[in-house]
Amino acid sequence: MTAGLAEGERGRLHGLLAEALAAADADPAEVAFHHRDAGDRAAAAAAFERAARRALAGHAVREAAAHAEAGLALERRSGLLEVRAEARAAHGDITGALADLQAAGGSGPPRSRRMSRSAMLTMGAQDPERAAELAELALVEAGDDRAARAGALETAAILDMNLGRTGRAAHRAGTALALFRVLGDGAGAARILDGRAMAAFLDGRITEAVGLFGRIAALFEDSGDLFRVVTPRSTRGHGLVFRAEPVDGLTETTAALQLATDLGAREGQAYALWHRSESLSALGRLDEAEIDAREALRIAREVGHRGWTATAWRALGIALHEQQRFDEAARAFRESALVAGETLTLFASWAAARCALAAVALGRLDDAARSVGRALAVGPPLGHYEARWAQVELAAAREADDCAVMAAAARSRAGAGGHLASVPRLAELAGRS
């Protein structure tokens, strides 16, 4: 159509088309192409950013990444780097996402928001202590900007919760929730409620958390924030397994896995596969449980997520233990402990407890005793249900005089908190003279 026109005339027509399409609220990507062909690189990059953000809001992550790449080829814009970071994070490229957020630069509230996001990406994938430092810096950069401060407080509260600083976590979450309500930010308020559900879970209040996770998942789903549905729904399934309801747990974790797969959210896939594997183990479907655990491990390693690597090893160990492949299970639990290290304390406690259970099964009681001590010494209350169970199994193997009393106490605490999956075995041991 424009082939016979002079270059200058073609550029002018593309510019006019870009203006007309923008006025008609047309697809910003189409507007961007016309600006680019008109020679206006800055306007084209800005339009590509709008197109990328629209695609990201619609969960079209690959399309968002393509628009961001096209815009960055024309002009380096912090907004384009932010969108590309989100697209990379969604597909499990945490290193690339962190690099983009750092390259976006800036200062004040924009930098605070990027540092908060970097902290969340760093928390599970790499190092929660480093993530906490980033969250504190985000609070400083936020200054008096209420929206940025609410976001930074939200992030800092999550880091405090995961690092066992429960009092400060609760205070910061409450302050963030008040700010989100003043700002009319319903999505922010929902995220705080999600954090409170996780806090209840980590505190060992499993029954309470299961109910909260169900409501939070529905809130995110109703608001169209599908990426955020995966975590509470899958975690609810995990809680149902602890509550001795593995059939319902399998339903929830399978739905979470399907959603994560549909969205191309690879971190979410690794997370849901871990939980579904434990559901399958609880149902005695051990071959399937092992397959899911190995797939979770493969994905977690590929995306470089330290936390989900540790939990995939846990899921694999449980499947192997239930198959009475105790040596292989012990190796898997040791790998989980190694990956969890000193900072992923819940996973460290779980790994130590499971190492103790495997050691008891293998007759290595001194090894079991060391692992029980470790399991009880680290992590939040959620991890200590399995730690106390392992402690009782060790006492039974040693024919300790206080085994029945210890088992009764552990059974009582497990029942009160909702860790009903361990209650039958603890009741059996409590009944021994």
Average pLDDT of the segment spanning 385-405: 96
Q: Which residues contact 273 (CB under 8 A, 6 or more apart)?
A: 257, 292, 293, 295, 296, 299, 312, 315
pLDDT for residue 18: 65
Confidence of residue 400 (pLDDT cuts 50, 70, 90): very high
Cα separation, 156 vs 360, whole angstroms: 40
Cα separation, 28 vs 34, whole angstroms: 10
pLDDT for residue 249: 98
Cα separation, 56 vs 294, whole angstroms: 30
pLDDT tens-digit map of 289-303: 999 999 999 999 998
Cα separation, 396 vs 381, whole angstroms: 23
Confidence of residue 259 (pLDDT cuts 50, 70, 90): very high
Residue 184 has pLDDT above 60, yes or no: yes
Selection from 248, 246, 242 nearest residue 289 by Cα: 246
pLDDT tens-digit map of 96-142: 888 988 888 788 999 999 998 888 888 766 678 888 888 899 999 99
CA angle 58, 63, 69 (to 5 degrees): 130
CA angle 373, 378, 384 (to 5 degrees): 75
Residue 22 has pLDDT above 80, yes or no: no
Cα separation, 69 vs 75, whole angstroms: 10
Per domain, the residue ranges of the chain are 1-103, 324-433
pLDDT for residue 91: 78
pLDDT for residue 95: 86
Confidence of residue 9 (pLDDT cuts 50, 70, 90): low
pLDDT tens-digit map of 407-425: 999 999 999 999 999 999 9
Confidence of residue 15 (pLDDT cuts 50, 70, 90): low
Look at domain 1-103 and name its CATH class.
Answer: mainly alpha
pLDDT for residue 433: 52
Confidence of residue 43 (pLDDT cuts 50, 70, 90): confident
Helices (H), 228-305: 230-242, 246-263, 266-282, 286-303
| Tokens of residue 401, six digits | 């005089």
| Tokens of residue 175, six digits | 């302050």
Average pLDDT of the segment spanning 9-19: 66
pLDDT tens-digit map of 320-347: 999 999 999 999 999 999 999 998 999 9
Confidence of residue 244 (pLDDT cuts 50, 70, 90): very high
> Please, what is the average pLDDT of the chain?
90
Confidence of residue 11 (pLDDT cuts 50, 70, 90): low
pTM: 0.81
With contact defined as beta carbons under 8 Å apart, do 348 and 379 qualify? Answer: yes
**Best-predicted range by mean pLDDT (23-32, 169-178, 213-222, 248-257):** 248-257
Residue 353 has pLDDT above 70, yes or no: yes
pLDDT for residue 411: 97
Position of tokens 């390259």?
103
pLDDT over 70 for what percent of the chain? Answer: 94
pLDDT tens-digit map of 195-209: 899 999 999 999 999
The 8-class DSSP code of residue 227 comes to: G
